[in-house]
Amino acid sequence: MTTKHLNRIYPLSREKVTIHDAFWAPRQEINRTKTIPYQYRQCKRTGRIDAFHLDWTPGKKKPHIFWDSDAAKWIEAASYSLTHHPDSELEVLVDDVIDLIVSAQQDDGYLNIYYTAVEPEKRWTDLEGGHELYCAGHMIEGAVAYYEVTGKRKLLDAVCRYADYIASVFGTEEGKMKGYPGHEEIELALIKLYRVTQNEKYLELSRYFVDERGTSPHYFDMERQARNHEGHLKPVVGHLEGEDVNKYHQSHLPVREQEHAEGHSVRAMYLYSAMADLAYEIGDENLFNTCKRLWSHLVHKRMYITGGIGSSEKNEGFTSDYDLPNETSYAETCAAIGLVFWNHRMVQYECDSKYTDLLERALYNAVLAGVSLDGEKFFYANPLESKGDKHRSEWFDVACCPPNLSRLLASLEEYIYSESDHDLIVHLYVQSRLQTELAGKKVTIEQTSNYPWEPQVDFAIQLQEKARFGLKLRIPNWTSRYRLEVNGEETDEGVTLEHGYVRIERDWQDGDTVSLTMDMPVFRNYAHPAVKDAVGKVALQRGPLIYCLEQADHEASVFAVELPESSDFQVVFEEDVLNGIAAIEAKAYARTSASEELYQTDKSFKETAIKAIPYFAWDNREDGAMVVWMKEY
């Protein structure tokens, strides 16, 4: 098609990186030892595993149309966790599940619980709502992950057969269906399958799905008519009208003509991720520019300060520009995870810190809030304000978020570093060790830090022989000043600033050290005046962390607290609170009342103090109100 992108970088693969910090490593450990087994038990308990026996009979509870994906995401998460933690018991369990899944594959390669066991005659009749291609995508991702970690091909071969069959059904060629998925996912999965198999058929199928989307005549319009407007989406979004119907699944326009982030936000993120992947693989600048346009719209008009996206429960997605209500924010955990996926892909194509800043914003706030500190309760929607009535759940009927969180946490190693032919790029500051080859030389780098609590990051470089390469360190957008030392001394030699990354090119020697110290003040965020629910308020931030006030730390109602413009902040490390956090304390005022009258002509205050905690840690103590945006005095 076109030439490959020349400046591309690529993520260091998971096995080259070991995380051993105080922040993420324990979370990965909880994810591995608690959440992943817990999710298996939930899948088992709810019938999501056994449904692959295809033994549903009329009268029994129907399997959901997306159960395949829950099992697949569990396989994917388990696979990632095996990378650094071989666990033969877990591996046997995965193998058993894979045996069962593969046993459900039909002779022609088709593999789907619902449309095999419940409505076999309806295969491919409800691409818009039936989630068949979505489930196929997740199964491919699970298969690729398990193959990468274990080398075992059984599921990979099965999904290749499935993908081959799908390629025989869909396409622009005569006799094929010109359909595409209502819930995007398979597009990005096929790129993964292409990367691991090098079979260009899968790359081409992904490109077909992306480029066919939204073209005329409109596939879903025709499909809906053929189904007499019945189908799986009707009970979910039957209330949508006009162009909102196709915006819901980003098919309102051909993809390359889209300018605004629209519709169901998880679908949007998975589509945009696939677009960035495709642009990367085939050097498609037009497609990448479409991504940039959508990115700019999303970031400037439709994103919560936490990196949460999708304002409304009604479409689980985007509404209108600047419509970002706090209490009713949807901000689905999966959508924030999708934002991480997408920005991780964007930065590989164009190494600009704006993508990593956004990835980090979503990761440390909107994503991380999705799971409780004990790893066993989950938010589906992530409000920025609560009266005290919103709490994480142990599981969901539509259980996309828990395994999505698990697979991201279990693969976090991929997100920290990238490399290119001449550079090692540090995106995230997470204490870890990497071992790779750069410029043909083996290199080990130890990253030491207590991020996100402390702003100092040190790198110790181990080399068997000298090597010349660029070390690129991201300068986050939350800092305005940093100090860089090489071997204990500030230096300008070979140092350049490139799109938010400081790059040090030199002949590195064994024992070289690099230190980056960033100013990490508490600062106040103000919203654009068009954001009606945040304008006039303030949100505190330190480093990548957005803070909130929880009622548990306050005597006065958190809604009645007003932070003086002049208040200084104290950062207090509390080892025993919420598994250890840096809290922010400040003097403040709280509205009081001289009487029990609801409406009064005098206003009165009392002095009080606030103690803000990181947003991700909220709702891990007793019930109570919470605000991210607080009033300023």
Pairing of strands 561-563, 581-592: antiparallel
Strand order from edge to edge, sheet including 456-463: 17-19, 432-438, 441-449, 456-463, 513-518, 482-486, 489-490
CB 500 within 8 A of CB 357: yes
Nearer to its own copies by Cβ, of 424 and 534: the residue is 534
**Cα 369 from Cα 362, distance rounded (Å):** 10
CA distance 332 to 106: 34
Q: In this structure, what are the phi and psi dihedrals at residue 73, rounded to the nearest 5 degrees?
A: -70, -30
Residue among 555 and 574 whose Cβ is closer to its own copies:
555
Nearer of residues 60 and 387 to its own copies, judged by Cβ: 387
Q: Has 204 been annotated as catalytic?
A: no
Q: Which 3-state string (H, E, C) describes 528-581?
A: CCCCCCCCCEEEEEECCEEEEEEHHHCCCCCCCEEECCCCCCEEEEECCCCCCE
Bridge partners (DSSP) listed for residue 436: 443
Give the up-direction half-sphere exposure of residue 69: CA atoms within 13 A in the CB hemisphere: 24
Active-site residue identified among 262, 316, 419, 562: 316
Q: What is the DSSP letter of 35?
A: I
Q: Quick check: is 243 catalytic?
A: no
Look at residues 16, 181, 20 and name the one whose alpha carbon lies nearest to residue 83.
16
| Pick 239 or 532: Cβ nearer its own copies | 532
Q: How far apart are the first and last CA of the chain?
A: 58
For residue 252, the one-letter residue type is H
Choice between 496 and 600, CB closer to its own copies = 600
Nearer to its own copies, 241 or 602 (CB): 602
d(CA 22, CA 115): 45
Nearer to its own copies, 53 or 300 (CB): 300
Check if the beta carbon of residue 359 is closer than 8 Å to that of residue 415. yes
Select 530 or 572, whichever has its Cβ closest to its own copies.
530
Answer yes or no: are the C-beta atoms of 519 and 480 closer than 8 Å. yes
In angstroms, rounded to a whole number, what is the distance separating the alpha carbons of residues 31 and 410? 7
Query: Measured from the CB of residue 260, what is the shortest distance to its own copies in angstroms?
Result: 15
My answer on whether omega of the bond before 217 falls inside 30° of 0, hence cis, is: yes
The single-letter code of the amino acid at 73 is K
Residue 460 to residue 294: CA distance in whole angstroms? 39
DSSP codes of every residue in 339-371: HHHHHHHHHHHS--HHHHHHHHHIIIIIIGGGB
Shortest spacing between CB 625 and its own copies, in angstroms: 8
Q: How far is CA 521 from CA 150, 325, 354, 541, 585, in A?
A: 44, 27, 20, 8, 13
Residues engaged in binding its own copies (CB under 8 A): 299-301, 303, 305, 322-323, 387, 523-532, 535-536, 539, 556-557, 559-560, 562, 590-593, 596-603, 625, 631
* From 135, 351, 400, 548, the catalytic residue: 400
Smallest distance, Å, CB 116 to its own copies?
35
Smallest gap from residue 256 Cβ to its own copies (A): 24
What are residue 371's phi and psi, to 5 degrees?
-125, 140
Nearest distance from C-beta of residue 350 to its own copies, angstroms: 20
> Which residue, 139 or 556, is less far from its own copies as judged by CB?
556
Least distance to its own copies, CB of residue 266, Å = 21
Q: Which residue type is seen at 76?
A: E
Q: Is 249 left (phi over 0), alpha (psi -120 to 50) or beta?
A: alpha
Q: How far is the CB of 328 from its own copies (least distance, A)?
A: 8
The minimum distance between CB 419 and its own copies, in angstroms, equals: 31
| Shortest Å, Cβ 591 to its own copies | 4
Minimum distance from CB of 604 to its own copies (Å)? 9
Tokens at residue 475, please?
Answer: 């300068």
Q: How far is the CB of 609 from its own copies (least distance, A)?
A: 16
Kindly list the distances between the CA atom of residue 25 and the CA atoms of 68, 268, 466, 537, in Å, as whole numbers in the listed order: 29, 30, 31, 35
Q: Which is nearer to its own copies, 372 or 386 (CB)?
A: 386
Which DSSP helix (H) or strand (E) runs through 165? helix 154-169
Question: Which residue, 6 or 598, has its beta carbon nearer to its own copies?
Answer: 598
**Nearer to its own copies by C-beta: 237 or 540?**
540
Classify 294 as helix, strand or coil.
Answer: helix
Contact (CB, 8 A) for 383 and 390: yes
Question: What span, in angstroms and rounded, lies between the C-alpha atoms of 371 and 228?
Answer: 40
Rounded to a whole number of angstroms, the minimum distance from the CB of residue 562 to its own copies is 6
- Token readout for 37 is 């087994």
Catalytic site residues?
316, 400
